[in-house]
Copies of this chain bind each other. A is one copy, B any other.
Amino acid sequence: MTKNENLKTYTLQEVPHYKVHGRTDSSQYPLPLFWNGSAIEVNVTGSELWIDIDVDFDCHEPWICCAINGAVMSRQMLLPGSYSLCLFRGMSPEAVKNVQFVRELQAMSEDDACHILIRGFQTDGHFSPIPDRKFKLEFIGDSITSGEGTYGAKEDVDWIPMYMGVSRNYAALTAQALNAEARLISQGGWGALCGWDNNPHHNLPTYYTKICGLAGGSVNEALGAQKDNPFAEWQPDAIIVNLGTNDCSAFSQPEWSDPETGETFKQHLNEDGSFRADDLARFEQAVVDFLHVLRRCNPSSYIVWTYGMLGYNLSLAITDAINTFRNETGDIKTFFLHLPNTTEETVGSHMHPGFASHIRAAKVLIEYLQELLHA
């Protein structure tokens, strides 16, 4: 390789213009990308650009993708270490290239060691400002929002990072169509009340107010994950919640019990297959409570609770909770929207919505938000 002698190294502090996507603790250096869809974005001239990163994990390796001028060029797993990745090379030096280095993998509650940290860039070009996008959107969800199934063959059933991603999911498609900045907060298998396996700790609301509360362990804590999220600094125009799918599964799964504490939890079906009233009520209460939290943290955002990409069964419970919340508060900016269910033709790997299902759901959501936001 002919060496480029003109590369200059910039620590993040030395980069005059860059934009960070996704919740993070901006006081950190190197800077963590906690969530899927978290990214660092630059506009840069020059023929060549490298990014300097620190990566580690215990068992679940992070994946990233890199988009040049809005088009995904590469997608790859990251191995542990402190190293540099070339994002582009050989390009016309004078043109400004927009580059987004994006975390594909969700925050990993099951791997406290998993992280991607940004140290800085190397380039022979110059950085220029990045215009603000027209809207801000926050997506809160489960494996659907973690893009599980958007990569991989239909017969693949492993639960591994490779099959998850933001680059083909409805949240990214929606943000791109609306020229919006997107923040994603999602965890596969989790719900509004409990996880798919009845684990009552696996719910997003518990962790919503922290920067990345579900990233555990001392390393993540040192990276700022457990700090309060500074909501005032970034208020979304709309919050899209996509939870309920795992809460629904829980009704059909065995009781969860904590081997250490003996704690148990179980959502029950009646004999006729309907949801047991008291269990449904506590799911609804969890939705109501979460809406209160969302509204408190985001006083003027639209809130759209979406549901349906993996079945419609809790629709009426969710709308009941939304109606309760609206009655309790007089809130008129909270809504419900079905996203089309996944079919045999649109399913992806691991029985999750495939790219085609995400495209279809995104279309409905994009149209909805265009009207809501007068986009």
Q: Interface residues, chain A, CB within 8 Å of chain B?
A: 1-2, 56-61, 63, 68-71, 73-77, 79-80, 86, 88-92, 113, 151-153, 155-158, 160-162, 272-274, 308, 312, 315-316, 319-320, 322-323, 326, 332, 335-338, 340-341, 343, 349, 363-364, 367-368, 371
Contact = CB atoms under 8 A, between A and B. Distances in A.
Given A74-B77, A77-B89, 14 more contacts: A1-B61, A2-B59, A63-B74, A68-B153, A71-B349, A74-B76, A88-B162, A92-B158, A272-B332, A308-B338, A315-B335, A315-B337, A316-B322, A319-B320
Given A1-B58, A160-B91, A338-B337, A71 B152 contact: yes
A75 B74 contact: yes
A319 B315 contact: yes
Contact of A156 (B71, B76, B86, B273): B71
Contacts of A63: 74
Which of A1, A61, A155, A337: most chain B CB closer than 10 A? Answer: A1
A338 B338 contact: yes
A349 B337 CA distance: 26
Nearest to A366: B343
B336 A364 contact: no
29 contacts: A1-B58, A1-B79, A1-B113, A2-B58, A2-B59, A59-B90, A61-B86, A68-B152, A68-B156, A69-B153, A69-B156, A74-B75, A77-B89, A88-B160, A88-B162, A89-B160, A90-B160, A91-B158, A91-B160, A273-B332, A312-B335, A315-B319, A316-B323, A316-B335, A319-B320, A319-B336, A320-B323, A340-B340, A340-B364
Nearest to A332: B274
Which of A77, A157, A323, A332: most chain B CB closer than 10 A? Answer: A77
A88 B163 CA distance: 11
A316 B315 contact: no
Which of A61, A88, A155, A316: most chain B CB closer than 10 A? Answer: A316
A340 B362 CA distance: 12
B341 A367 contact: yes
A210 to B, nearest CB: 26
Nearest to A363: B340
B312 A316 contact: no
Contacts of A80: 1
Nearest to A319: B319
B367 A343 contact: yes
A312 B368 contact: yes
A113 to B, nearest CB: 8
A86 B90 contact: no
Contacts of A153: 68-71
Across the A-B interface, give the 8 residue pairs with the lowest CB-CB distance, nearest first: A338-B338, A319-B319, A69-B153, A71-B153, A76-B76, A1-B80, A274-B332, A90-B160
A273 B372 CA distance: 13
A123 to B, nearest CB: 16
A66 to B, nearest CB: 9
Nearest to A160: B90
Given A336-B319, A367-B341, A73 B162 contact: yes
Nearest to A339: B338
A343 B316 CA distance: 26
A326 B316 contact: yes
A107 to B, nearest CB: 17
Contacts of A70: 153
Contacts of A332: 272-274
Contacts of A320: 319-320, 323
